[in-house]
Amino acid sequence: MNELQNDTFIRALLRQPTEYTPVWMMRQAGRYLPEYRESRKTAGSFLSLCKNPDFATEVTLQPIDRYPLDASILFSDILTVPDAMGLGLYFEEGEGPKFEFPANNEERIAALEVPDMSKLQYVFDAVKQIRMGIAGRVPLIGFTGSPWTLATYMVEGKGGTDFLTIKKLMYSRPELVHRILQINTDTIIAYLNAQIASGAQAIMIFDSWGGALSHNAYIEFSLNYMRKIISGLTLESNGSKIPSIVFTKGGGLWLEQQATLGADALGLDWTIDIGSARRRVGDKVALQGNMDPAVLLSDPNSIEKEVETILSSYGKGTGHVFNLGHGITQWTPPENAAAMINAVHELSKKYHSP
């Protein structure tokens, strides 16, 4: 495979010296880009973009072709996994993801199984094709949802809920929720290892809804399963280390616990000061984040100020990957994303002097 021309992102995750702070954006291939909207129109729907490796490759490369980003991320969705389990994923225009057959009663939960990975072959094919398309410019990140985050969609049957269906089950029949989480964990280990075997050069776990849990429930129902995943991964491939990132949105209260997961880096949302996060985790992990995506709705001057605030709060030295605190919004003017990326590259050099 192609040798990496820019490995700044990988070095920052491994807390090795870099010349500047690397940057990428969650949801960097998405609706704020006119070329993405065009591809989506041609494909017919979001899911056909995901399920066709040619389209998935095309849209993964769009932000890389447009901006000097330091990493690319596989274009797919976390919900392809429960889809492969037979839950029937569909998207209704403007309403987000839904499942035809949610795992919301004892029979359906008992019937859940680890799916055959051939059902997700289109993802592995996309990873291989994207690696060829990137041609070594930057690393490719593979990803998954966390067991808990996938379970919220599987039980609730849709997004945008208050999680009361799954929480009721968690408090009244915890063994049923543990069964879902164990199946998700076994599936995710196979899924991520197949992404790594296909060419993913770093992996990220999106625990988007871990922050909805109480302290004890977070440890028992989300963190402990992510720990099993990290220890089940092939973390070396072709002689290089595959760094891992864990992102619990709303998880700033539990950084000390997350730092013991065995992951190389933790993602931060915008609610926490990255400097105090750094002092709390010490030299255990790198940090990724954490600008409020809404900053990108402002103007280049305001964006530069926010970038500087985050860089200076993190301070000197390696171990920081700049990112947004959650996905870029569809209302972002593309030139504002360019302003952020350039500001990170320029303003961060002074924090990396030898």
- 220 interacts with ligand CP3 by CB under 6 A: no
In the region spanning residues 71 to 130, those forming contacts with ligand CP3, defined by CB under 6 A, are: 73, 75, 77-79, 96-97
In the region spanning residues 141 to 170, those forming contacts with ligand CP3, defined by CB under 6 A, are: 143, 159
Nearby residues of 196 by Cβ (< 8 Å), 6 or more positions away: 142, 203, 233, 234, 237, 242
Q: Is 283 a catalytic residue?
A: no
- 40 interacts with ligand CP3 by CB under 6 A: yes
Options 29-37, 124-132, 180-188, 295-303: segment touching ligand CP3 (CB under 6 A)? 29-37
> What element of type H or E holds 328?
none
In the region spanning residues 171 to 210, those forming contacts with ligand CP3, defined by CB under 6 A, are: 206, 208
Nearest Cα neighbor of 179 from 263, 111, 266, 245 is 111
Residues 265-304: x where in contact with ligand CP3 by CB under 6 A, - otherwise, as a string = ----------------------------------------
Q: Is 153 a catalytic residue?
A: yes
d(CA 322, CA 71): 11
Beta strand ranges found along the chain (DSSP E): 72-73, 89-92, 96-99, 140-145, 202-207, 236-237, 240-241, 244-248, 265-267, 286-291, 320-324
Q: Is 31 a catalytic residue?
A: yes
- 11, 15, 27, 137: which is the annotated catalytic residue? 27
Q: Exposed, middle or buried: residue 168 (CB in 10 Å: 0-12, 13-18, 19+)?
A: exposed
Residue nearest to ligand CP3 (CB): 208
Q: Is 40 a catalytic residue?
A: yes
Q: Is 15 a catalytic residue?
A: no
- 20, 153, 191, 225: which is the annotated catalytic residue? 153
Nearby residues of 197 by Cβ (< 8 Å), 6 or more positions away: 124, 234, 237
Q: Tell me the catalytic residues.
A: 27, 31, 40, 77, 153
Contacting residues toward ligand CP3, per CB under 6 A: 26-31, 40, 46, 73, 75, 77-79, 96-97, 143, 159, 206, 208, 249, 327
